[in-house]
Structure formats: structure tokens, C-alpha cells
Structure 1
Amino acid sequence: MGCRNVEEFSCLNRIEEGTYGVVYRAKDKKTGEIVALKRLKMEKEKEGFPITSLREINTLLKAQHPNIVTVREIVVGSNMDKIYIVMDYVEHDLKSLMETMKQPFLVGETKTLLIQLLRAVQHLHDNWILHRDLKTSNLLLSHKGILKVGDFGLAREYGSPLKPYTPIVVTLWYRAPELLLGVKEYSTHIDLWSVGCIFAEFLTMKPLWSGKSEIDQLNKIFKDLGTPSERIWPGYNELPAVKKCTFAEYPYNNLRSRFGAYLSDLGFELLNKFLTYCPSKRITAEDALKHEFFRESPQPVDPSMFPTWPAKSEQTTTRVKRGSSPRPPEGGLGYAQQLAEDGDIEPGLGFHFNTSQQGVSAKGAGFNLKF
């Protein structure tokens, strides 16, 4: 059976614009159901179709789960020049929602959100899928309290043994230190670091570390967690950026002071397990779901008991995901040369040091470059 035409839907309003497409709230003329229509950007094509869009569709079809956005069908424009993904409509994204909330989530609500996120991440990893761009603006929340992971534009399947991938993935504020330091062989651990950043954001209602560049992001992380060393992160001294930089020495983990009594000792223990420097020592989604934090009082609330908020997505204004947070990665120097399957994204500025001039040195906040 062929794809339906987009004319079979009534567009109600445009609700979101991201790097890889525009999302509309629409009504199915046949059933009367409200859906989300994501129009895929077609300018970066490979044999007539953008490879990021192919990857997103393929991943979503393989990753069906109650806490992952549901793809209903693919529809086309009148001239077959526009492609749309039809998805379940979900009222909120968590970033926009938290910007309007006067009070933070209760601890029990935070636990419920985190459990749902971890279930989705575990399902992805069990099916050999890396999301590679987990952040609050990519987490949707329904009026029934159901969290769904969305935006799979950077997601990809992985295998064993690991292959080299581009390190320029994950929006800067949620990017794991191994990526910031130039590692090309990575796995599920990068998603769990992002989960830790999101967990902290649920508690404080603001990003944990909002760096302006890769170096600034690393420096903010090191100030809170202490500067890593070979002792706590075997292989640290051999990381690409560590060979080119000398970072300021911050000897202690000061993260606890950011949360006070609002986060219990067990909660902080779990947060630290997400934000562990050494990727192989970082907690998995499966193990995180078993953590005692979820069993101590207050208990996770039933999703149906979540409060409801007016849905921004039902208003006529467009939500542009770029907002005040950094854009998702669009490449880096050498990005196009990584692997063909990662090569369709337009290059931008990534983590790179020019070593063509020997003897040149440079300094910045918290670091020295070594040439």
C-alpha cells in the first residue's frame, strides 16, 4: 500500500523547528485524531533522500516502546517532494514546560520522570541503538504524565566491536567528557551521562553545566567534579584533547553543594554514578532502575497524578528548539571524513586544535594548550 498524501491532514499550527525538521500539530481528516507531523528537511540528500531522515525513521520503527515517540506512518507532499513522519501528538516538551513552571518537580515526580526515561534508554540500548542527543527539549510529556523520548535525528545503531564514530554528537550541555575530549569509539555510556545531566535539571530547573564552548564545558565539569586523572579514569592521559591541553587542577568533587537537602544521599549517589568520568564505570540504565533511590520515601508518583499545564504546542507561536540552549551538533573539522554513514551533516566548528605552527601556545579559562 502506498503512502497517504499530506492533504489528508489539516494543519492546525506549527509547534517546533529543529535542526532536522519542522513539526506541526495536525488533524487527521479521516479519523479526527490530533497528531504531530514532522516535515523532514530535504536539502542534504543522498540519492534523493536525506540519510539522517532515513536513519531517524528506521530507528523509530525499530525502537517502539511506551516511552518513545510512536511513528504511525509516513506521508508525502503532492509532488512527492516533501516527506512527513506522522507521530502521536504529545502536549509538552520538558524544556519548554520547565521554563514556565513556578515550582520545581516534587521528588516523587522527578523519580517518575527519571524511571520512564531510563526505561526508554534501556530499551534503546538493549536493541543496540544510541540516541546521541538526549536533553530536556527532546523529552515529551503528555497530559497523562507519560514521558516519551523524541528526536532521533542523531540516533544510530552500534555494534561490537565498536567502530570509530564522530565525537561531535550530543548537544554541548549534555555531552559526556569522553566526547568533549575527542574519543571516537564510544558506546551507551554517552547516553547515561546525558541522563545524569537531565536528572540534575529536573531538580534545579536549569541546565547543570551551560558551557559556551567545549573547553568551557569541560572546565565547568571539572570545577564541580574535580579534574580527572589516570587513577580514576584509566587511559585518560591518552585521550586526544588531554595530549594537547593542560587543564586546571580542581582536586575535589563539590557537586553535592549544588543540591542541598532537596536531594537525598541515595539520590546523590545515583547522580554521581551517572556522572562518573570513566565510561566503563558509569552506571547502566538497567542497573540505575534497580537503585535504592527509587525505593526510598517519597515514592515515585503515579503518572496519572501529575499536574496538568497549558500546552504551549497548542498555541499559534512556534517553538524553536535552538532557544537559549546550544544547537545540536552539526559537524566539526574532520566530521565529513569520519564514516560515510555519519557524513551528511553540514560541518561546523568542533573540538580542534591547530598544531600546524610548532611552538605556538594558547591559554584560556582553566586550560593551556600544548603544541
Structure 2
Amino acid sequence: MDDYEIFDTIGNGTYGKVYKAKVKNTGQIVAIKKAKLERDEDGIAATTLREISLLRMLSQNLNIVRLLDVKHLKCNDGRLFVCLIFEYVDCDLRDYIDKLSKTKMPQMLIKSFMYQLFKGVSYCHGHGVIHRDLKPQNILVDKTRGLLKLADFGLGRSFFLPVGALTHNVMTLWYRAPEVLLGVVQYSIPVDIWSLGCIFAEMSRMTPLFRGDSEIGQLLCIFRQLGTPTEDMWPGVSKSRNWHSYPEWKPQKLSLVVPDMEPSGVDLLSNMLDYDPAKRISAKEAMQHPYFDDLDKSQY
């Protein structure tokens, strides 16, 4: 790591610290994610290994953060680390929204951001990868170029591999799809679309759409807005592992919670927040939605 000059810590999560640094011989600014290696027979942590392998495959896409290098590091005290070297992007969508404070995001900017998110997610899904942790904190904003980049693939996984039941401890609560909350044994790429729907609404409202304080609380927030799901809305929902006898709420108009969103945007949002994962719009389909008709797509 003598090739790098560390400036400061810019992130500190479950799986390691992230530093802002400079490559000494080129002056390039980078982000370094340092993850401690597990002291067991598995060696490198599964989340880090997954992130490396997925980013090796995906990070050539403009809307996915670029992995530049991977290095192993042994400290003087014998501790082992793996360092992921990324391109540096100075802001995430959470900070971007928070810094706007009481100012609304321009509608065309939201449209541009959503198109880029669909583009990045469509690329992931086209390569057999579910992100599983889409939230504003994991979306980087290059303010100079107006670019959005998906980041933090530690919970990502390939759905082309033969797998059994997937873990339900994924996604930050406010962006978690109802099928995950209800303990559905098999879920797939529609969970990412639900998360994007929550992010879409949040950019329009400047506040999260569903703010539960527990898994059951999150479900109730969703049910109060979208109505308690029935077998007609979502075949098989009552057989979900975490299904109980919930209050029977009627759906509320989605346009009332996103009053600044144009009708075609509300239509797109409703297709993203469809209870039935089989009916939820795909990222590729969403890019062709009329909501984006007045967007200059050639710039992307």
C-alpha cells in the first residue's frame, strides 16, 4: 500500500472501512475499501469475495462503480486484509438528497437519475446478478458529470447458479421488497425493482416512502399505502412464511404521496411497486416507459 497516500476515512461499515486516497505516481484519487480477512478455513469473507467477483464482471459499465485493483495486505501484527481499489466518487445519493434540504429535486434530474439506475440495474440483471441492497447510500453521484453509479455489491449474488432458499437478511428495511419481508422462500430480480421504486418516490418526495421501524412495522407501512394484499392481487401471498391476519386496508392513491410527479411517472412507480413480483416491471422494460419519452437518452 506504499503506492497510495491515504487522506481520510469516508465510510465505516459492517465489512470494513473505506478511505479516500491518492495514487502517488499518477495523482489519481481513488477509494480504498479495506476488509479484514476471516481467521478460519474460509479465508476471505464471503461478502468480500462476492463483491470482487461480481465487480470484476460488471464494473466496465458506466453506471456501476469501477473496481480498479485488488490487493492483499499483511500488517506488522500479522493481521490480513484485502483492499479493493475503486474509482473515487465524492457523493452518494443519500448525501445528495440531504444537502438539497428543503429544495426539491428538479423533475428532469429525477428522470435522468432514474434512467441511469434502470440502465445499471438492467446490466446487472442481464448478467445474472441481483444487487439486493439498493438504497441511496449505495448509489454514488458524480456531480460534475451528472452520472449515477451502483456501488456496494457485498450482498449481491448470481441467480444463474443453482441455489436453494436465499437469505432474507438483505436490503435496508425501508427499501426491502414485501416478498422478502414475508419470508417468501424464492425471490429474484424484482426485489431490486421494488427498491428502485422506493428510491424513485423518495427523490420526488425528498423523504422515504415507507419508514417502518421493524419488519412487521415496514409491512404495515406498505399495506396502509398500497392496501393489504389479497390472493387476487398476489397469488400465493397468504401461504408466505410470515403471513398473518393483517388489518384489511384499502389502497390509497399513489399520486397523493408523490404530488409533484407527472402522471406517467406515477404509472411507472405503480408498476415498480406491484405486489406480485411476476407482474413488477423489469429494468429493461422500464427504460422504454413513456415517462422517459422527453429524455435525451443519447447522452447515456
* Length-normalised TM-score, structure 1: 0.76
Corresponding residue for residue 28 of structure 1: 23
Give the letter for the 2:96 counterpart.
L
Is 1:134 paired with 2:134?
yes
Corresponding residue for residue 89 of structure 1: 88
Shift of 1:162: 6.3
Superposed CA RMSD in Å reads 1.8
Q: How does 1:305-324 map to 2 (within 5 A)?
A: none
Q: 1:220 to 1:67 in 2, by over 3 A?
A: same
Shift of 1:216: 0.4
Corresponding residue for residue 253 of structure 1: 252
Shift of 1:169: 1.1
Corresponding residue for residue 278 of structure 1: 276
Give the letter for the 1:48 counterpart.
G
Contact 1:162–1:187 under 8 Å retained in 2: no
Following the alignment from structure 2 to structure 1, what is the Cα–Cα distance between the partners of residues 121 and 297? 20
Structure 1 regions of 5+ residues with no counterpart?
Answer: 1-5, 305-371
* Length-normalised TM-score, structure 2: 0.93
Following the alignment from structure 2 to structure 1, what is the Cα–Cα distance between the partners of residues 108 and 297? 5
Q: How does 1:336-355 map to 2 (within 5 A)?
A: none
Give the letter for the 1:258 counterpart.
V
Contact 1:112–1:302 under 8 Å retained in 2: no
Is 1:200 paired with 2:215?
no
Contact 1:108–1:301 under 8 Å retained in 2: no
Contact 2:36–2:80 under 8 Å retained in 1: no
Contact 1:44–1:50 under 8 Å retained in 2: no
Give the letter for the 1:255 counterpart.
L
Shift of 1:160: 7.3
Q: 1:187 to 1:44 in 2, by over 3 A?
A: farther
Q: 1:29 to 1:171 in 2, by over 3 A?
A: same
Following the alignment from structure 2 to structure 1, what is the Cα–Cα distance between the partners of residues 40 and 183? 28
Give the letter for the 2:283 counterpart.
A
Q: How does 1:170-189 map to 2 (within 5 A)?
A: 170-189=171-190
Classify the secondary structure of the residue corresponding to 1:169.
Answer: coil
Following the alignment from structure 1 to structure 2, what is the Cα–Cα distance between the partners of residues 197 and 41? 32
Per-residue CA deviations over 1:71-116 (Å, capped at 9, x if unaligned) read: 1111232447121100000010110121111312101000110011
Q: 1:108 to 1:301 in 2, by over 3 A?
A: farther
Identity of aligned residues (%): 38
Per-residue CA deviations over 1:294-338 (Å, capped at 9, x if unaligned) read: 114xx469979xxxxxxxxxxxxxxxxxxxxxxxxxxxxxxxxxx
Is 1:153 paired with 2:154?
yes
Classify the secondary structure of the residue corresponding to 1:54.
Answer: helix
Q: How does 1:212-223 map to 2 (within 5 A)?
A: 212-223=213-224
Q: 1:225 to 1:20 in 2, by over 3 A?
A: same
Shift of 1:166: 1.2
Classify the secondary structure of the residue corresponding to 2:33.
Answer: strand
Contact 2:227–2:250 under 8 Å retained in 1: yes
Following the alignment from structure 1 to structure 2, what is the Cα–Cα distance between the partners of residues 288 and 38? 32
Shift of 1:17: 1.2
Per-residue CA deviations over 1:16-63 (Å, capped at 9, x if unaligned) read: 112222110000011111001011133475432112111110011011
Is 1:49 paired with 2:44?
yes
Contact 1:173–1:217 under 8 Å retained in 2: yes
Larger Rg: 1
Per-residue CA deviations over 1:151-175 (Å, capped at 9, x if unaligned) read: 0110011127763111221111000
Q: Larger deviation: 153-162 or 13-22?
A: 153-162
Classify the secondary structure of the residue corresponding to 2:167.
Answer: coil
Q: Larger deviation: 197-206 or 46-55?
A: 46-55
Corresponding residue for residue 294 of structure 1: 292
Corresponding residue for residue 104 of structure 2: 104
Corresponding residue for residue 10 of structure 1: 5
Q: Larger deviation: 192-201 or 18-27?
A: 18-27
Classify the secondary structure of the residue corresponding to 1:193.
Answer: helix
Following the alignment from structure 2 to structure 1, what is the Cα–Cα distance between the partners of residues 242 and 181? 8
Contact 1:129–1:156 under 8 Å retained in 2: yes
Contact 1:130–1:156 under 8 Å retained in 2: yes
Give the letter for the 2:286 counterpart.
A
Classify the secondary structure of the residue corresponding to 1:247.
Answer: coil
Q: How does 1:107-118 map to 2 (within 5 A)?
A: 107-118=107-118
Classify the secondary structure of the residue corresponding to 2:252.
Answer: coil
Is 1:70 paired with 2:66?
yes
Give the letter for the 1:91 counterpart.
D
